[in-house]
């Protein structure tokens, strides 16, 4: 199993664009930088549109990069750094899952941790998701703070009963006698021809479970910050990691930081339309934003990050300003995050909308293996541009 998954591993992951001065590292390609700069200059009653360059074109001088504060990490390394810091800080933190030990995890997030902390704190398990998920929940009830790694998020459907009936509800059904400080994390999303069973997006499955929080990381910076926050939370947290973002590189602070599990991130302020997105689609949106700016539009881009609960404060303030909303997600259209977000905005901010909400989602079909067909099932930047143009007519 480990050998098979290695062929889908970190070094083969890729992402096209970044809005955080990020770099991509791919085995067959040089490390390149994708800049995102913005300029606004309201003068004489006119608004100067923000200039965004999302296409990676050049490698930064290593000397100038080294002079900047912080250190550069790939996203999977940022996850590992956050996990390692929390294991160092709190001896109750432990990891369990398939191949998380000396193999280092299918995407190397736990590489080296077994050597440092031992086989009991970084526990290799059999291929039995329902068993080791239930074991982790029991460990949390007795005072530990376990992190469950799914080799692929789709495999955690085998543990749905444990996650739903136990992890999410035990605090309530025990009358508050138990807390379940558990993190459930792993790779998911549509990769590069991984087939239907390995391209699952489970956000829609888990969002209806009472007692569970859900977050999705999209940059090395927020991956580390959300990992640390999830481990420290007294609630069970599902952390979604996209399989194609593991090789995204970014400079993050040297000093410790922890992000909120319930806050969205303002990626790009704008005036004409609010675009809400998360995970990999953040980069499709930012690619589309370049085209939209060249066409005279000024989109506001928000990475919602917190999938449950939604940050309705940040979202609401944006809706009140732009009066138009486009939601872009990789989740399925029926019953997805976009459907829940649409309902929440209509319920809370309907009077501020000048047009119906547009929701761009993946098609309700199994993800094809063929690369061309796979691409057709997922929202592409051209579709985002067309949706904004039509909405802002």
Is 249's pLDDT higher than 80? yes
* CB neighbourhood size of 316 (10 A): 17
> 314 falls in which pLDDT band (50, 70, 90)?
very high
Residues of the chain with CATH 3.40.50.920: 265-392
d(CA 230, CA 241): 13
d(CA 307, CA 321): 22
The domain defined by 265-392 folds into: Rossmann fold (3.40.50)
Catalytic residue among 129, 241, 250, 265: 129
d(CA 109, CA 230): 16
**Contact at 8 Å (CB) between 268 and 38?**
yes
Report residue 163: phi and psi, to 5°.
-70, -40
Catalytic residue among 20, 81, 149, 198: 198
Residue for token digits 């481990």? 231
Is 73's pLDDT higher than 90? yes
Beta bridge mates, 184: 148, 238
For the chain, how long is the longest CA-to-CA vector? Answer: 67
d(CA 201, CA 213): 16
Say whether 129 is catalytic: yes
* Lowest mean pLDDT across 117-131, 140-154, 189-203, 228-242: 189-203
> 237 falls in which pLDDT band (50, 70, 90)?
very high
Q: Calculate the average pLDDT of the chain.
A: 84
CA distances from residue 166 to 35, 130, 169 in whole angstroms, order as listed: 44, 11, 5
Token pair in block for residue 41: 């200059």
The domain defined by 70-253 folds into: Rossmann fold (3.40.50)
* Lowest mean pLDDT across 10-14, 27-31, 282-286, 298-302: 27-31
Q: CA angle, corner 122, sides to 117 and 125, nearest 5?
A: 155
Please tell me the predicted confidence (pLDDT) of residue 368: 86
pLDDT in tens, 10-45: 333 333 333 443 433 333 323 323 333 333 333 333
d(CA 7, CA 193): 12
Q: Where are the beta strands (DSSP E) in 232-280?
A: 237-242, 248-252, 265-268, 273-277
List, as own/partner pairs, every contact residues 203-206 make where C-beta atoms lie below 8 angstroms and the sequence separation is at least 24, other chains included.
203/240, 203/307, 203/331, 203/336, 203/337, 204/331, 204/332, 204/335, 204/336, 204/337, 205/157, 205/160, 206/163, 206/238, 206/308
Residue for token digits 């080799």? 151
> 225 falls in which pLDDT band (50, 70, 90)?
very high
Burial of 218 (0-12, 13-18, 19+ CB in 10 A): buried
Residues of the chain with CATH 3.40.50.970: 70-253
Q: What pTM did the predictor assign? A: 0.82
The DSSP line for 46-100 is: B-PPPP---S--BPPPHHHHHHSSSEEEEHHHHHHHHHHHHHHH-TTEEEEETT-
Say whether 35 is catalytic: no
Burial of 356 (0-12, 13-18, 19+ CB in 10 A): exposed
């Amino acid at each position: 199993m480990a050998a098979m998954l290695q062929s889908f591993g970190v070094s083969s992951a890729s992402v096209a664009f970044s809005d955080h001065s990020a770099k991509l590292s791919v085995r067959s390609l040089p490390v390149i930088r994708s800049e995102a700069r913005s300029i606004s200059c309201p003068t004489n009653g006119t608004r100067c549109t923000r200039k965004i360059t999302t296409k990676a074109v050049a490698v930064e001088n290593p000397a100038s990069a080294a002079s900047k504060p912080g250190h550069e990490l790939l996203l999977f390394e940022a996850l590992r750094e956050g996990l390692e810091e929390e294991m160092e800080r709190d001896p109750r933190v432990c990891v369990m899952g398939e191949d998380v030990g000396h193999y280092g995890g299918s995407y190397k997030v736990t590489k080296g941790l077994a050597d440092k902390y031992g086989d009991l704190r970084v526990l290799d398990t059999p291929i039995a998701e329902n068993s080791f998920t239930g074991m982790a929940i029991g460990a949390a009830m007795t005072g530990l703070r376990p992190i469950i790694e799914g080799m692929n998020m789709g495999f955690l459907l085998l543990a749905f009963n444990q996650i739903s009936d136990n992890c999410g509800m035990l605090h309530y059904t025990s009358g508050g006698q138990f807390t379940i400080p558990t993190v459930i994390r792993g790779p998911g999303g549509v990769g590069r021809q991984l087939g239907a069973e390995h391209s699952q997006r489970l956000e829609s499955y888990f969002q209806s479970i009472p007692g569970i929080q859900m977050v999705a990381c999209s940059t090395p910076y927020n991956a580390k910050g959300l990992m640390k926050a999830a481990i420290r939370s007294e609630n069970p947290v599902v952390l979604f990691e996209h399989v194609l973002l593991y090789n995204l590189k970014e400079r993050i602070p040297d000093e410790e930081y922890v992000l909120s599990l319930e806050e969205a991130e303002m990626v790009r302020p704008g005036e004409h339309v609010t675009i809400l997105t998360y995970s990999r689609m953040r980069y499709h949106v930012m690619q589309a934003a370049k085209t939209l700016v060249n066409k005279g539009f000024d989109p506001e881009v928000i990475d919602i990050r917190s999938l449950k609960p939604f940050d309705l404060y940040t979202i609401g303030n944006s809706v009140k300003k732009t009066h138009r909303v486009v939601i872009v997600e990789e989740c399925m259209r029926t019953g997805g995050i976009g459907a829940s977000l649409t309902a929440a905005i209509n319920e809370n901010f309907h009077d501020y909308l000048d047009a119906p909400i547009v929701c761009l989602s993946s098609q309700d079909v199994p993800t094809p293996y063929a690369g061309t067909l796979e691409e057709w099932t997922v929202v592409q930047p051209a579709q985002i541009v067309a949706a904004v143009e039509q909405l802002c007519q």
